[in-house]
Structure 1
């Protein structure tokens, strides 16, 4: 990874990749489930939660605004893209389950794991390797916090 291979700009693919997983959250905000009794999914140590939030913002910004000028298509990227798509579909199906049946701890952990893998896959697919640093940190904190709170 050489930083001179990157430029600041606008990535429509990055923007779409960031916006798509937010659609179920918007739906949840507009029409929250009637029977949810979930506690807040906050980190036990506030500074860890803050680090996760900062990394989430950096991840989003970098996926949208940092562009790899040398990114090339490859068979490996197709596989990575496919895995990301599968995780995204699984995430959407998890939301359908969330709204239609009993909410289980494993469902909630899955709803943290699937988008985390998706965003890592998006970073790899776009060749946006610097974005992987905040993405992986956010993923670890998000999954660990969700597991700690619900398992």
Structure 2
């Protein structure tokens, strides 16, 4: 089964957002950082002998701003990737068969056997075939002519993958 996909900045951002909130390692790091930051600010302000209420307010406010800033800076970094950044963005052909998944673009090609695939996930817009903790093939569902085709593709990946996992 073969499909041609075109990965845009928006697709890459949505993948990064999906990874941040759905991959336990990344999600936990994000949560711990964003929870600990207000406490660090509060402790620092208290060390400077500032009033407790002032320290609490600025700790929560400053921590909240830091959370928003880190999220927005991540988005800015992803969205600033040039459209000409082939290899990450652009058109590619993705093929799945009983051996594995193969991707071919104008600048690269890659292949993974199903035994090298870690997981296959989907949401409303994408199918993600993870080959590492945070590295995945991004398959936009808009690349399929019909929703039925995207479901068939997803189910076929599940069949191939399940044959290789114990």
- Same fold flag (TM > 0.5): no
Structure of larger gyration radius: 2
Q: Which has the higher strand share?
A: 2
Q: Which has the higher helix share?
A: 1
Answer 1 or 2: higher relative contact order, Cα 8 Å, separation at least 6.
1
TM class by shorter chain equals under 0.3
